[in-house]
C-alpha cells in the first residue's frame, strides 16, 4: 500500500493528507484548532457583558486568535514532528509504534480538553488568559491544587474530560483516520524535507512573533480573547523578568530621579538630603513635637474591594461591622491598591514603592534589607511580626518578611488546639485574630510596643469558615467570605477592647487588593479601589478623608500620625500633610504601569509606549475614556516614578539606611 491510500469510506479531500505519514498530525491540528476556538467562545460568553458584539471587533479577535492558535500548534507538535521524521517505515507500521501512537494521541486530546477547563477556571478567577499568576501557581502546586479541589467538583470534571476524550478518540478510530497513515510508504529524504519545513515554522515564529500582536484593542477583554492560553502561559514563563530599559519609555536617569525628589519634597516637613546620590530619593521627614510610641496592628484583609461596603454603595449588608467602624475611624474613601495580587499589596504596604514590572519585590532575588516599615519600627525598639494564617513559604512571604525587619508567625506556629477551622489557604480569620491577641499580649507583658502586620485568608476561594457565625452557610461564595471576615474583625476588636494595650493602639484596616481585576480597559480604575480605616478612639479623630490616596501612602501616613521624624526612601507620602494637588496613586499589572492624578490615568505599556484615559467614578456608574491626545507633563512624571523605582532596586539604592 503506498502513500496515496485514502481512509476507508472517505475518498479524496482531506483524506489525501490523512493517508500520509503526517495524517495523525493533520487530525491533531484540526482538533487543536477546534478546541482552541471552542475555548475562546466559551470565555467570550463568560465575559459577554464586557464585549462589543459587532462584526469588525469579532473579525479581529477570531483572526488574531487563529494566528496565535496556529503558532501554538506548531510549537506543540515539534517533538512529534521529529519523531515522525526519524522513524523508519517498518517500525512505524509495527505494533509497538501503533500502541505508542494511540497512547500519545489519546493523552494529547485529554490534555487539550483539560487545558480548556483550566482556562475557564483561571478566567473565572482573574478575567484573563494564563499569565504571570499561572506561572506562579505552577510553583505552589499544593495550595493551588488544594484550592481547586475545595472549590470545584474536580473528580466530576476529570471524569467528564475523560468521557469526552474517549468519545473523540473512538470517533477517530471508527473512521480509520489514523490507521491509514501507518501504511504510508516514505523515504527518509521525503520525511526530512517535510519535517524541516514543519520545524522551521515554530523557529520562525519564535524569532518574529511575540504577545504584542494580541494587543489590538482598547478593550482588554478583546485582547485577552485574541490570545491562545497555552502560548500566553509560556510567554509569561519565558518573560518572567521584564527589563525596564528594553520595554518601557525612559528619561535620563538623573533627570528622572531629580523629578521624583522634587515632587516628594514639595510636602511640608519633607526635605531632600543635600549632596546625596543623584539617583537616590532619600530625604528627611520632620515632625514637630515628641514622637508617639503607640502600638500598630495592621489588618491586611484578603480581597476586600471597596464595593463590598455599604459606605461605597453596596446594599447587600455584607460588612455591618466595617461600616460601623468606618464612622468611628479616620476613613480614607479614595484609596487605590497598586496591584491585583497579595504580594503586590504587601510590597506597597511594607516598602512603599510603585509596582515595578514583572514580579513584586516579595518574590524577587536580592530583596533583603530593603528600606521597610519593619526596620523603621524595629529601630525604635518595637516588637515587629508578620502574622499569617497560611503557610508563609507561599509567594516567598516568610523569606521577604524575615529579611526586612519582621519575625514570622505563620500557620506552622499555631498549635492544633488554636485552630477551629482551616482550608487549603489558611486558618479561619477568627483563629488568626486570636493568635494576634496572644502576640500583642506577649509584647505588652515585656514592656515592648508592637507593630504587627496581619494577613488574612478567609475571603478567598473556597470561601469556607466555621458554622454559625453568619447567616450564609459555608461555603458561602464571595458574599459569605466577605461577611465572615467582617464578623471576625468585629469579634477581634471586641476582644481587643478588654486588653490593657487597646487604648494605645492604632488599628489599621486595609485590603491587599480587590476581589476582581476584570474590566474593559488596560487598568480599570474601579477594580483597584479599596478601603482604609485607622481606628484609635483615644488618638485619632473620626472623619472621612476623600482625597486621592495610593496604597504606598498608607505607611507614611501612619508614621505621620505617630509624629515620627526619620530619613525616608519611601515613594509614598503622608496624606495628612500633603497638598491635594500633589496627590497621586499607582496601579498596575505585571506589564502595565499606571499613574492616577485627579480624573486622569496614564499607562505605560511594554511596547515603549503609553496610553491616557479620563475616568469617572461614582455609585452605580463607572466609565473610562481613552484619550487621543497625550498629556506630556503627566507622561513625564509617570516615567520618572517607575524608572526611578527600577533604578533604585537595580543599583541597590533602596536598602535600609544603616
| Residue ranges making up the domain that contains 211 | 15-240
Q: What is the mean pLDDT of residues 418-423?
A: 95
Whether 535 has a pLDDT exceeding 50, the answer reads: yes
pLDDT, position 16:
65
Q: Is 655 part of any domain?
A: no
Grid coordinates of 445: 507583658
160-216, pLDDT tens digit by residue?
A: 999 999 999 988 887 666 677 777 788 899 889 989 999 999 999 888 888 778 888
> For 422-447, b where at least 16 C-beta lie within 10 A, e where not — what string?
bbbbbbbbbbbbbbbbebbeebbeee
445-467, pLDDT tens digit by residue?
A: 999 999 999 999 999 989 999 99
pLDDT band at 9 (very low <50, low <70, confident <90, very high): very low
**Per mean pLDDT, which range of 76-80, 125-129, 144-148, 550-554 is the poorest?**
144-148
Are 422 and 511 within one domain? yes
pLDDT, position 639:
97
Are 321 and 194 within one domain? no
To the nearest 10°, report the CA torsion of 18, 23, 25, 31.
30
pLDDT band at 389 (very low <50, low <70, confident <90, very high): very high
Q: Which of 240, 260, 280 is the last residue of a domain?
A: 240
Q: Total structural domains in the chain?
A: 2
Show the DSSP H helices in 352-476 as ranges.
Answer: 373-379, 397-402, 429-445
Give the strand pairing for 450-455 and 295-301: parallel
pLDDT, position 182:
78
Are 231 and 265 within one domain? no
Whether 651 has a pLDDT exceeding 80, the answer reads: yes
Are 138 and 211 within one domain? yes
Q: How many helices (H) and strands (E) does the chain have?
A: 23, 17
Q: Is 9 part of any domain?
A: no
Grid coordinates of 550: 495610593
568-603, pLDDT tens digit by residue?
A: 999 999 999 888 888 999 999 888 999 999 999 999
Q: Is 28 part of any domain?
A: yes
pLDDT, position 379:
96
Secondary structure (3-state) at 626: strand
Q: Is 6 part of any domain?
A: no
Distance of alpha carbon 315 from its chain centroid, rounded?
Answer: 28
232-275, pLDDT tens digit by residue?
A: 888 877 766 667 887 899 999 999 999 999 999 888 888 888 77
pLDDT, position 618:
66
Checking phi first, is residue 275 left (phi over 0); if not, alpha (psi -120 to 50) or beta?
Answer: left
CA-to-CA distance for 467 and 479, rounded, in angstroms?
Answer: 15
Q: Is 1 part of any domain?
A: no
pLDDT, position 142:
64
Q: Is 355 part of any domain?
A: yes
Task: Look over the chain and give the mean of its residue pLDDT values, rounded to a whole number.
Answer: 89
pLDDT, position 427:
96
89-122, pLDDT tens digit by residue?
A: 889 888 898 899 889 999 999 999 999 999 998 8
Are 168 and 306 within one domain? no
Are 373 and 421 within one domain? yes
pLDDT, position 633:
95
Are 104 and 124 within one domain? yes
Q: What is the mean pLDDT of residues 491-507?
A: 98
Q: Is the separation of the CB atoms in 228 and 76 below 8 Å?
A: no
Burial of 579 (0-12, 13-18, 19+ CB in 10 A): exposed
To the nearest 10°, report the CA torsion of 140, 143, 146, 148.
-80
Q: Which of 191, 213, 240 is the last residue of a domain?
A: 240
pLDDT, position 123:
85
**Per mean pLDDT, which range of 7-16, 431-440, 455-464, 637-646 is the poorest?**
7-16
Are 139 and 191 within one domain? yes
Q: Is 657 part of any domain?
A: no
> For 177-202, b where at least 16 C-beta lie within 10 A, e where not — what string?
bbbbbbebebeeeebeebbeebbebb
Are 358 and 498 within one domain? yes
Q: Is 594 part of any domain?
A: yes
Q: What is the mean pLDDT of residues 402-419?
A: 96
Return the closest-CA partner of residue 413 out of 430, 398, 400.
398
Are 236 and 259 within one domain? no
pLDDT, position 2:
39
pLDDT, position 247:
83
Are 574 and 597 within one domain? yes
| Comparison of pLDDT for 63 and 154, the residue scoring more | 63
Are 313 and 174 within one domain? no
Whether 443 has a pLDDT exceeding 50, the answer reads: yes
Return the percentage of the chain with pLDDT > 90, whole number.
64
pLDDT band at 6 (very low <50, low <70, confident <90, very high): very low
Whether 131 has a pLDDT exceeding 80, the answer reads: no
CATH number, domain with residue 535: 3.40.720.10
Q: Which of 222, 240, 258 is the last residue of a domain?
A: 240
Q: What is the mean pLDDT of residues 503-521?
A: 89
Amino acid at each position: 500500500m503506498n502513500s496515496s491510500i485514502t481512509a476507508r469510506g472517505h475518498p479524496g479531500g482531506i483524506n489525501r493528507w490523512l493517508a500520509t505519514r503526517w495524517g495523525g498530525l493533520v487530525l491533531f491540528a484540526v482538533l487543536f484548532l477546534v478546541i482552541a476556538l471552542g475555548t475562546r467562545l466559551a470565555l467570550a460568553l463568560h465575559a459577554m457583558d464586557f464585549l462589543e458584539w459587532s462584526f469588525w471587533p469579532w473579525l479581529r479577535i477570531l483572526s488574531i486568535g487563529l494566528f496565535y492558535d496556529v503558532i501554538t500548534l506548531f510549537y506543540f507538535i515539534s517533538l512529534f514532528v521529529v519523531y515522525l521524521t526519524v522513524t523508519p517505515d517498518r517500525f512505524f507500521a509495527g505494533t509497538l509504534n501503533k500502541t505508542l501512537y494511540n497512547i500519545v494521541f489519546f493523552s494529547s486530546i485529554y490534555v487539550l480538553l483539560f487545558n480548556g477547563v483550566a482556562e475557564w477556571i483561571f478566567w473565572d478567577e482573574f478575567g484573563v488568559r494564563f499569565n504571570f499568576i499561572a506561572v506562579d501557581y505552577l510553583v505552589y502546586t499544593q495550595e493551588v491544587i488544594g484550592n481547586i479541589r475545595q472549590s470545584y467538583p474536580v473528580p466530576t470534571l476529570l471524569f467528564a474530560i475523560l468521557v469526552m476524550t474517549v468519545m473523540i478518540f473512538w470517533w477517530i478510530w471508527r473512521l480509520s483516520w489514523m490507521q491509514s497513515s501507518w501504511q504510508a510508504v516514505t523515504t527518509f529524504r521525503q520525511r526530512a524535507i517535510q519535517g524541516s519545513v514543519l520545524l522551521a515554522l515554530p523557529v520562525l515564529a519564535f524569532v518574529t512573533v511575540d504577545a504584542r500582536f494580541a494587543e489590538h484593542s482598547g478593550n482588554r477583554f478583546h485582547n485577552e480573547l485574541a490570545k491562545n492560553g497555552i502560548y500566553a502561559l509560556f510567554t509569561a514563563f519565558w518573560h518572567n523578568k521584564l527589563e525596564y530599559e528594553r520595554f518601557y519609555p525612559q528619561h535620563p536617569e538623573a533627570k528622572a530621579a531629580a523629578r521624583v525628589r522634587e515632587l516628594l519634597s514639595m510636602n511640608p516637613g519633607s526635605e531632600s538630603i543635600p549632596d546625596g546620590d543623584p539617583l537616590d530619593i532619600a530625604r528627611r521627614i520632620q515632625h514637630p513635637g515628641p514622637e508617639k510610641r503607640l502600638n500598630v496592628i495592621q489588618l491586611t484583609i484578603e480581597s476586600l474591594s471597596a464595593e463590598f461596603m455599604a459606605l461605597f454603595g453596596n446594599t447587600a449588608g455584607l460588612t455591618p461591622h466595617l461600616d460601623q467602624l468606618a464612622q468611628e475611624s479616620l476613613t480614607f474613601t479614595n484609596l487605590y491598591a497598586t496591584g491585583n495580587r497579595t504580594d503586590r499589596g504587601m510590597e506597597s504596604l511594607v516598602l512603599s514603592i510603585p509596582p515595578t514590572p514583572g514580579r513584586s519585590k516579595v518574590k524577587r532575588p536580592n530583596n533583603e534589607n530593603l528600606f521597610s516599615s519593619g526596620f523603621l519600627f524595629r529601630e525604635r525598639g518595637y516588637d515587629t511580626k508578620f502574622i499569617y494564617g497560611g503557610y508563609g513559604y507561599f509567594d516567598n512571604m516568610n523569606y521577604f518578611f524575615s529579611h526586612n525587619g519582621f519575625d514570622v508567625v505563620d500557620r506552622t506556629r499555631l498549635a492544633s488546639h488554636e485552630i477551629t477551622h482551616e482550608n487549603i489557604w489558611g486558618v479561619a480569620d477568627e483563629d488568626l485574630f486570636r493568635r494576634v491577641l496572644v502576640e500583642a499580649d506577649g509584647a505588652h507583658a515585656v514592656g515592648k510596643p508592637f507593630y504587627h502586620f496581619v494577613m488574612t485568608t478567609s475571603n478567598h476561594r473556597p470561601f469556607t469558615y466555621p458554622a454559625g457565625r453568619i447567616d450564609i452557610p459555608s461555603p458561602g461564595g464571595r458574599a459569605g467570605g466577605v461577611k465572615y471576615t467582617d464578623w471576625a474583625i468585629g469579634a477581634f476588636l471586641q476582644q481587643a477592647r478588654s486588653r490593657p494595650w487597646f487604648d494605645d493602639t492604632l488599628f489599621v484596616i486595609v485590603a491587599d487588593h480587590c476581589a476582581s481585576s476584570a474590566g474593559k480597559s488596560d487598568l480599570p480604575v474601579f477594580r483597584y479601589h479599596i478601603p482604609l480605616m485607622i481606628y484609635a478612639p483615644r488618638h485619632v479623630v473620626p472623619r472621612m478623608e476623600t482625597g486621592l490616596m495610593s496604597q504606598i501612602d498608607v505607611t507614611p501616613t501612619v508614621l505621620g500620625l505617630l509624629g515620627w521624624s526619620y530619613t525616608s526612601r519611601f515613594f509614598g507620602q503622608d496624606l495628612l500633610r500633603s497638598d491635594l494637588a500633589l496627590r497621586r496613586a499607582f496601579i498596575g499589572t505585571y506589564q502595565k504601569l499606571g499613574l492616577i492624578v485627579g480624573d486622569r490615568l496614564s499607562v505605560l505599556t511594554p511596547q515603549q509606549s503609553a496610553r491616557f484615559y479620563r475616568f469617572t467614578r461614582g455609585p452605580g456608574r463607572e466609565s473610562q475614556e481613552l484619550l487621543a491626545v497625550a498629556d506630556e507633563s503627566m507622561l513625564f512624571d509617570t516615567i520618572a516614578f517607575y524608572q526611578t523605582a527600577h533604578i533604585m532596586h537595580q543599583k541597590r539604592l533602596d536598602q535600609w539606611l544603616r
